[in-house]
Structure 1
Amino acid sequence: MPIASDWTVNKVGFDYRHPPEFCIDRPGGSGDFLMLYFTVPVLLHDLSGTREHPSDTCILYGPGFKQWYRGAHRQGLANHWCHFGGHGAAAWVKRCRLAVNRATQPVQLQALPPLFHALEREFLRREPCWHEACIALTQQILIAFARGSTMTDRPATTPRLSELAVALRDLRAQVHRDLERRWTIPEMARRVHLSPSRFAHLYRRFFGASPLDDLIAARIERARWLLSSGTVSVKEAAAESGFTDLHYFSRCFRRRVGCAPSRYDRSSQAALMKAM
């Protein structure tokens, strides 16, 4: 979608602080989306009514919905915020399945303050391409909000499972960065302090594949990328992708890609990518 013509960033605030008597009361909303991240306890109105929420509460108000909030316990208000709108913004909110007009306490909020800070800087400095930069940063904020909210809203998810989800994602990133290493299920399980069986169960739950299938798929993708360069031999591609047995590599490659690695070149890759 075009990012500049159908998305506007209207106003931004980073680490705004207000006295105890300060209160926002907009019965008809602000006419655009308002993303808020409160760093102190807050009284606010959302779909469930008006009540107190703890610090690190976030809410995305939609256009036309009543906006009402103030600091709890007469202690004042502190928050980061951003007003944005446009058809592109509305489509993005829908695409990310963001909770609108509902206060949440997402996990992994450490990414949000630097993003709000960078957004305010771009908005105020108005350097070349500032509008595009503001849209990109707003999108990153919404993605961080969506991911954190999804982890807390998932059925049967506990704080412990949320922690394990983070640990397994970090482990998966490490494994995929170091595919030449001879990874085993017991070793991966030890790194996240789980038994091999529990690790395999949770891995499939979070990523939709077993640890071994996911590892082989990543190695095959690495081999495809290497072979597409036209300068790497099949033996070299296998070794650099973590396969120690050339025959096993050829069988896995043929099963997943549909042709032998020796027949895989730039033209076959382009055709296969179109078919995916």
Structure 2
Amino acid sequence: MPVHADELPEAAAPSPPPGLVTVGRFDERPGYSVDRPGGADSWLFTWTTDGAGLLVQGATRTRSAAGDLVVLGPGVPHRYAVAPDARRWTFWWVHCQARPAWTDRLRPHLRGDRLYAVTPVPAGVPAGVRDRLEQAFRRMLADARWTGEGAPPAIEPGESGGSDGPGGGPVAVAHGTAARELTLCSLESIVLLTTATATATATAGAGEGSDRPGVDLRIRRAEARIAADPGAPHTVDTLAAGVSLSPSRFAHLFTQQLGQSPMRALLAARLLHAARLLEATDLPVERVAVAAGFSSPFHFSRVFRQRYGAPPGAYRAGLRR
């Protein structure tokens, strides 16, 4: 039976301040719900480990089962609760400001109203990936408690939720700068792992051209290889050899099916990689250029300005302001 937003139990709740990183793990039973009619000023990341939850944002809703990452962007009214057909909902959650580069990873999973649902097939997610995700959340919980003195707290493997009432389970707030950055680094790994696993699972199970009809699987593999390591010394010859095609046949198929040449796609990937490095690191512009695969910093500055409307240094300064 369809469930509508106005059928969820009412339980208005404030959201954490947007400048903080707040992380927790809840184990909730039917009757638990959170309602924010004004939305939140921060992003909310949820990762379900057991049972199921129902998340509604604006007019968009999704059911979150074990292994699913659901992300709610700020500024849209939302509600979430234990799913009507579930006996429990065990999930990790994080309130924070998302790093700009994360939206690129999440965009293919947008359902509407700034709700992103990364839902890999559970059977297709290797146990090692699930374990690493669990450890990343536990690492976040420990790092959020670090004061900056001595070593960060050790991960406590026995920590879990378990309360029958709303809000039960461990919660930590990262107050210090180092604690916030460490928790965000773990969350970035979670975004990367879940989105990459979902893409790989969909590609493996779909065959040639399911989500993009007419795109040869070999071309998609080459495209993924460029995106995974744009700074590598890729050439048409090396990319073609990696998918067992002749260079001329590979270049023809790539351009025909993706609408741009392999080297044009490589340039776009390198510029995006450089932008992410400028956003997330304090590396000098010259080192960013090298890490992104550019041999000439002058060429890098020129093509970066053409793509983003500002030279690399000004682009970074604008973000910091």
Query: What is the TM-score when the length of structure 1 is the normalising length?
Result: 0.51
Root mean square deviation of aligned Cα: 5.3
Q: Secondary structure at the match of 2:92?
A: strand
- Residue 184 (structure 2) aligns with: 135
Q: Structure 1 residues 8 and 55, CA, compared in 2 at 3 Å: closer, same or farther?
A: same
Q: Is the 2:221–2:243 Cα contact (8 Å) retained in structure 1? A: no
Highest CA radius of gyration, 1 or 2? 1
Residue of 36, 49, 54 corresponding to 1:43: 54
Deviation at 1:114, TM superposition (A): 4.2
Question: Percent identity between the aligned chains?
Answer: 9
* Counterpart residue type for residue 132 of structure 1: E
Deviation at 1:25, TM superposition (A): 1.9
- Residue 11 (structure 1) aligns with: 22
- Residue 157 (structure 1) aligns with: 211
Q: Is 2:104 aligned against 1:77? A: no
Q: Secondary structure at the match of 2:117?
A: coil
User: Hey, what's the Cα distance between the residues in 2 that align with 1:212 and 1:35?
Assistant: 34
Residue of 241, 261, 277 corresponding to 1:209: 261
Residue of 60, 69, 88 corresponding to 1:58: 69
Q: Structure 1 residues 270 and 148, CA, compared in 2 at 3 Å: closer, same or farther?
A: same
What runs of 5+ residues in structure 1 fail to find an aligned partner? Answer: 1-5, 219-227, 229-256, 258-265
Q: Is the 1:27–1:66 Cα contact (8 Å) retained in structure 2? A: yes
Deviation at 1:68, TM superposition (A): 1.7
Q: Structure 1 residues 179 and 59, CA, compared in 2 at 3 Å: closer, same or farther?
A: closer
Higher helix share: 1
What runs of 5+ residues in structure 2 fail to find an aligned partner? Answer: 1-16, 150-177, 203-208, 271-285, 287-293, 304-321
User: Hey, what's the Cα distance between the residues in 1 that align with 2:186 and 2:210?
Assistant: 32
- Residue 275 (structure 1) aligns with: 302
Q: Secondary structure at the match of 1:73?
A: coil
Q: Is the 2:76–2:114 Cα contact (8 Å) retained in structure 1? A: no
Q: Is the 2:53–2:80 Cα contact (8 Å) retained in structure 1? A: no
- Residue 122 (structure 1) aligns with: 143
Query: What is the TM-score when the length of structure 2 is the normalising length?
Result: 0.45
Q: Secondary structure at the match of 1:8?
A: coil
Count of residue pairs brought into register by the alignment:
211
Q: Structure 1 residues 47 and 133, CA, compared in 2 at 3 Å: closer, same or farther?
A: same
User: Hey, what's the Cα distance between the residues in 2 that align with 1:135 and 1:175?
Assistant: 23
Deviation at 1:83, TM superposition (A): 0.8
Q: Structure 1 residues 190 and 26, CA, compared in 2 at 3 Å: closer, same or farther?
A: same
Q: Is the 1:12–1:83 Cα contact (8 Å) retained in structure 2? A: yes
